Amino acid sequence: MDDKLFDELLEATKEALAHYKGEKLDLRTTELPEPPEPMSRVEIKRLRVRMQVSQPVFARCLNVSPKLVQAWEGGARRPDGAALRLLRIVEQAPVLVLPTGTAGRPGKFKPASRRKRLKAAS
């Protein structure tokens, strides 16, 4: 091992030890957010109803299947991980995932037909 690498490792070890002892607090640390609180089936349905969208539209906005939204609302499954985080974000700021003009006006969001999607893709 060359001297430069050894000196860097020794310095890093000394800094780690000082940090462990509480002597050195200028190391960069990152505080991660707490995991989101679980959502009950009632909360999920209440959120969707508050947004005034159907289960298929809600599912499309969250990029999940309508069957999954049905399972959440029916209590057969519980959202976790990224889906739970996204639901909590939607709870705070629905405009982030809801298509423009749908909040408060059910029935206004109509996904493009298959023909239009295929035509746009080509």
Q: Do 50 and 36 form a contact (C-beta atoms < 8 A)?
A: no
> Per CATH, is 36-96 categorized as 1.20.58.110?
no
Average pLDDT value for the chain: 82
pLDDT the model gives residue 92: 92
pLDDT the model gives residue 47: 95
Q: Give 41-47's long-range contacts (Cβ < 8 A, gap of 24+).
A: 41/72, 41/73, 41/74, 41/75, 41/78, 44/69, 44/72, 44/73, 44/79, 44/87, 45/73, 47/87, 47/90, 47/91
Nearest to 91 by CA among 24, 16, 28, 36: 36
For residue 106, what pLDDT band results from cuts at 50, 70 and 90? very low
For residue 1, what pLDDT band results from cuts at 50, 70 and 90? low
pTM of the model: 0.60
The predicted-structure confidence for 56-75, as pLDDT tens digits, reads as follows 999 999 999 999 999 999 99
Q: Could you give the CA distance from residue 2 to residue 12 in angstroms, rounded to a whole number?
A: 16
Q: What percent of the chain has pLDDT over 70?
A: 76
Number of Cβ within a 10 Å radius of residue 12: 10
Q: What is the mean pLDDT of residues 71-89?
A: 96
Look at 34 and 105; give whichever has higher pLDDT.
34
Q: Could you give the CA distance from residue 52 to residue 5 in angstroms, rounded to a whole number?
A: 61
Domain range list for the chain: 36-96
